[in-house]
Amino acid sequence: MLRSMWALLKRHKKKCFFLGTVLGGVYILGKYGQKKIREMQEKGEQEEYIAQARRRYHFESNQRTCNMTLLSMLPTLREALTQQLNSESLTALLKNRPSNKLEIWEDLKMISSTRTAVAVYSTCMLVVLLRVQLNIIGGYSYLDNAAVDKNGTTVLAPPYVQQQHLSSIYLLLGDGLTELITVIKQAVQNILGSVSLKHSLSLLDLEQKIKEIRALVEQKSSTPWVDEDGPGAFLCCYMMWDKEAPLTIQACELSPRDVTILKFLNETRDMLDSTDFRTVLTTCMDRGFSWLLDNVAKFFCPTGQDLQHGASMDSLSSVSLPLAKIIPIVNGQIHSVCSETPSHFAQDLLMMEQVKDFAANVYEAFSTPQQLEK
């Protein structure tokens, strides 16, 4: 059989050689193709990894910018609050032992309580609002950088838009803050106005008073466009214009520059209208007031007399202080809440997982390539 096969091969030597060459070529080409495909896949994976790493670095850099911007605004917020709610002038008057001492103490009770509550609210609002604004800008900036790498020419977030967009946050530090003070001051008056300066409050009593003030403040809504679907909903009107304002602007003839600015503001407002924003803001407020109580609790340590009556060093609920002694403690909290360096209050809010996740979601929504097609 081997001889017959050998004879067959000799007779068709040229055909077998040609067939072998073709098969060898196909094999070599197949191997070469597999190698090229593997190299392309590895190159694609490498480029994707580099793109993800670049995007992650850009996002983390943007979050550091958010943090620094917040810390730079806290002194401005503190100054605005101390100007509109000047308790220091009242404490200076009390040192001179005036005849209307009781009246001044009542004013100090209202102003100090209002100022501290507004400080907590407004700082929480700044934290979440800046996360929205700077991550929208950050997302578009990432797309602009990607477009430059691909020789793109369309700029989604030019510098003038970024500047104008961020300047809108000063509504919260201006007219919005003034309106917020009015609402909170009324709530404080309703809850604490009738409480005597001699009345003793435990830390649990103080916590209950804060809950009552928050319940009054957070059920208020001074604008018709705010949806009644979350405690944080009412706060939107102190950070952005109402729904009628964009309609008025759009009725005018707008330049392309104005259209771009308006687009950014509308996108910010849409984020403020979202359930995620309100949920994160409410979580920040809960954490903020809890932090405030923890800070005040340091002054509710049992005295020797309390220990003689059976109070333990670990029991704060058994310690009560007259409201007149609590007022100076509350009055000084603004310097802890609105402290820029170091700001333990702000850092506590910034380190919350809900805030980090929310920031990542906003950045993700505005840094995807699909945005370039819109």
For residue 200, what are the β-bridge partners? 322
pLDDT at 307 over 60: no
Q: At what angle do helices 323-331 and 101-149 cross, to 10 degrees?
A: 30
Average pLDDT for the chain: 80
Residues with Cβ within 8 Å of 352's Cβ and at least 6 positions away in sequence, in order, are: 283, 284, 287
Q: Is residue 303 in some structural domain?
A: no
Q: Is residue 26 in some structural domain?
A: no
For residue 202, what are the β-bridge partners? 320
- In this prediction, residue 93 carries a pLDDT of 92
Q: Is residue 27 in some structural domain?
A: no
Question: Domain span at residue 357?
Answer: 39-297+309-373
pLDDT classification of 119: cutoffs 50, 70, 90: very high
- In this prediction, residue 13 carries a pLDDT of 55
Domain count, the chain: 1
pLDDT classification of 158: cutoffs 50, 70, 90: confident
Between 152 and 100, the higher pLDDT residue:
100
What tens digit of pLDDT does each residue of 77-118 get? 999 999 999 999 999 999 888 899 999 999 999 999 999 999
Please count the other Cβ atoms lying within 10 Å of the Cβ belonging to residue 91.
15
Backbone φ and ψ for 95, nearest 5 degrees, come out as -65, -25
Question: Could you tell me the CA-to-CA distances from 287 to 82, 115, 355 in Å, in that order?
Answer: 23, 18, 12
Q: Is the dihedral of CA 242, 350, 287, 115 positive or negative?
A: negative
Q: Is residue 302 in some structural domain?
A: no
Query: Which of the residue ranges 16-20, 94-98, 296-300 would you say has the lowest mean pLDDT?
Result: 16-20
Tokens 């706060």 belong to 235
| Position 99, amino acid | S
Question: In b/e form, how buried is each residue of 187-217, taking b as 16+ CB within 10 angstroms?
Answer: bbbebbeeeeeeeebebebbbebbeebbebb
Q: Is residue 219 in some structural domain?
A: yes
pLDDT classification of 246: cutoffs 50, 70, 90: very low
Between 249 and 363, the higher pLDDT residue:
363
- In this prediction, residue 105 carries a pLDDT of 95
Q: Is residue 183 in some structural domain?
A: yes
CA triplet 151, 154, 156: central angle to 5 degrees? 125
